[in-house]
Amino acid sequence: MKNLLLKITLTCLLFGFAGVNAQELMMYQQPKDYEMPPKMIPTVRKYWVSLPKDYNETTDRYPIIFLFDGDEQFLRNLILFDADQLTKTGEIPPCIIVGIIQRNRALDFGPLYAVKSNPNSSKVNGDKFFDFLKEELLPELKKNYRTQDFKIGIGHSLGGLFLLNSFTKDPGFFNAIVAFSPALEMNRDSTLFSNLQKTLRSKLDRQTFFCWSSGTDGINEVTFRPASGVLGKLLADNPNPLLKYKYVDLPGKYHNNTPLYTMLDAFGFVFSDWDIAKWYRGLFYDKSVEPVAANNQRNALIKKLYGFDEDPTDDRIQNNVGGQLLLRKRYAEALPYLKKAVEMKPGSSGYSEDLGEAEENLKNYPAAISALKTALANLDKNADDYKERSEQYQTGIKRLEGLIKQ
């Protein structure tokens, strides 16, 4: 699957997108642009947001992906395309994707120790930019969107350096960090390595994932790769039970294409235990799996690893667990799951249809009629099977009305 997706991504990027609007996003809305007035940092800060496509149809809450260098078209397209494909196949959860526009990469990303000799470094530097992220941008996102407290930071080159420095400042802020060929230099960044060691030896508050990569070709990789190797040794010599890490070695790759060859591995690494498609396969095809127990076990694992209060696909999970109980004719047990699914996504005809089936088998005929009428009202009139399903629901409603009169 990964090789196929990588080929698809390569093909799309090689032919080139004139802009993100050229992409046919299946699981996400097209990004919208926003800006924040100067406050902590004395310049207007621009960013874009892409929401899950059905965001306005559900009450689900979502993790946040922060993409730094969000104005780089290559990175913007890569993250949106990979997230779209992997969300569709159920390998990662739907997320709120936020692309941050950089005004001056060296100042935005450079830790104060590295840029203090630069003009304006007292006003803008990586440390101040991280404070802006925590104290201005994140609260704004939480106010405007339904978010989960799970945040992924994705950065390339200096963006990767920024993320590592941010980890030492507040190791609990990002739940996951993906650094494509981080711009690490042994002499300049000795302070960072010292701070990383202290952080790794401290107690982390929650499970954290870290994935980074480096290539071998070109002046940038010749410069950064040695420190990337030292970073790997530092992590190995200072194991922390709440830090999982993965290094993606890319021999023959150069600095600007490391993101392309890293992102799929990184997403798979971070969400290997979430992978809802794998969980569904067990639930659907292994009849020995107990639906309620499997759901409870999954909830406990997701809470432990990702801190999710509810799964970002909870409406689908509720409906599928309820559906499995329906198949096993455990109608009373199915009912609360199916009701919760309808509550979370009231516009789904399929969810209301399943609820109607459970209500009918429990002889709650008025409730079953109400569910089928809701399913009928929410049918997509442009769907190929609209006529067939419409007739099916109308027939079911008449049959139920006849049962009431008996």
Q: 171: which DSSP letter? A: T
Tell how strand 208-217 and strand 243-254 pair up.
parallel
pLDDT of residue 14: 42
Residue 338: closest CA among 370, 377, 371, 313: 371
pLDDT of residue 7: 44
CATH fold for the domain made of 276-405: 1.25.40
pLDDT of residue 18: 44
Number of neighbouring beta carbons within 10 Å of residue 199: 18
CATH fold for the domain made of 2-270: Rossmann fold (3.40.50)
How far apart are alpha carbons 252 and 262 in whole angstroms? 13
**Which residue spans of the chain are classified as CATH 1.25.40.10?**
276-405
pLDDT of residue 295: 93
Tell me the average confidence (pLDDT) per consecutive run of 10 residues in the chain, 406 residues long.
47 46 80 94 94 94 97 96 96 97 92 85 89 96 96 97 96 97 94 96 94 97 95 96 97 96 96 93 88 94 92 94 95 97 95 97 96 95 92 94 86
**Which residue spans of the chain are classified as CATH 3.40.50.1820?**
2-270
pLDDT of residue 21: 52
> Are residues 98 and 69 in contact, defined by beta-carbon separation less than 8 angstroms?
no
pLDDT of residue 23: 55
List the alpha helices (DSSP H) in 272-311.
Answer: 276-285, 291-306
- Rounded alpha-carbon distances, angstroms, from residue 271 to 65, 90, 220, 307: 13, 10, 30, 13
The string of DSSP letters for 8-39 reads: HHHHHHHH--SSGGGS--SSBPPPEEEEE-SS
How far apart are alpha carbons 378 and 370 in whole angstroms? 12
Dihedral-angle region of residue 156 (phi above 0 means left; psi in -120 to 50 means alpha; beta otherwise): beta
How far apart are alpha carbons 180 and 182 in whole angstroms? 6
Burial (Cβ within 10 Å: 0-12, 13-18, ≥19) of residue 21: exposed
Q: 390: which DSSP letter? A: H
pLDDT of residue 1: 45
pLDDT of residue 287: 82
Q: 124: which DSSP letter? A: S
